[in-house]
Amino acid sequence: MKRKVVVLGAGHVGSHVALSLAYENIADEVVLVDKVPGKADAQALDIYDAMSFVPHEVLVRGGDYKDVADADVVVCAIGMARKPGQDRVDMLDDSIVMCKELIASLSPYEIPGVFISITNPCDVIADYLRKHLHLDKDRCFGTGTLLDTARLRRVLSRNAGVARLSIQCFVMGEHGESSMIPTSLIKIGAQDYDEFDLSDDKILEEVRRGGWVIVDGKKCTEFGIGRACCEMVDAVLRDEHRILPASAVLDGEYGEKDVQIGIPCVIGAAGIEKRIVAPLTDDEMARFHHSCDVVRTNIAIAAKK
């Protein structure tokens, strides 16, 4: 069966999502859509030229909003790049304006596939789009703390001197300043995190500051989040039942309701197949509840805009 992915937004992030999907042969057809006339076609043609140097064929093209009607996965990558010194929540007003335009453009079409949102602030926008596009909570989720988890794996690898693929870890909570690291769940090879002489505060600071450093240096993030999103798309299209952190709606998990936030999830063809309730310590649970409160507050603010 042909695997079709539509990427909404052909900017830095959307174009790298499309490029990774094509290069890694994750999709058979990748469609870029953008409100700026000609931009999606230009990005698609540029990527399609690059496909001359890989041993497989993937159709990459510009399209329009009606393409979502038969897409297996729709990726929302609209939005403005985060400015130096700007928190993700600072982007909320602009993101809501763009989301309203997007919702109006998508309203004539049914979206039968899985919908993955990248747009910041990630958890709040994923919730906003799910509600206004009337999508099922298992089929509409955000990349959430997946990129944060990739950064954590990088930081742990460097500090512990162990290959990234030997590290199992998750960042949970908001994709933002209230994110938390459940160190009790970290496994470095066969060893617990506590067996390494690492500073919790230093590790968390490095992970949180990763995005700031990139934005300060190059005015945007693109490669990491683009590849992170592709991992989610791959898990859906290959029905991998893979455990990845995602911004999911909670309905009693961890004692939380009415919030969409980053937790480990089993992801497959149906989207989120299971929300994993990991055994957190009392301190970790308290920090997770705080993060939920932060996101819930911002969801309420978004609802009034």
Check residue 86 and give its pLDDT.
Answer: 66
Q: Residue 68 carries which side chain, given as an amino acid letter? A: V
Check residue 228 and give its pLDDT.
Answer: 97
User: Are the C-beta atoms of 182 and 170 separated by less than 8 Å?
Assistant: yes
What would the pLDDT profile of 91-126 be if each residue is shown by its tens digit?
Answer: 899 999 999 999 999 999 999 999 999 999 999 999
Tell me the Ramachandran region of residue 85: left when phi exceeds 0, alpha when psi lies from -120 to 50, beta otherwise.
left
pTM of the model: 0.96
Q: How confident is the model at residue 80 (pLDDT cuts 50, 70, 90)?
A: confident
User: Are the C-beta atoms of 262 and 175 separated by less than 8 Å?
Assistant: yes
What would the pLDDT profile of 227-259 be if each residue is shown by its tens digit?
Answer: 999 999 999 999 999 999 999 999 999 999 999
Q: Kindly state the average pLDDT of the residues 88-92.
A: 83
Q: List residues with catalytic annotation.
A: 175
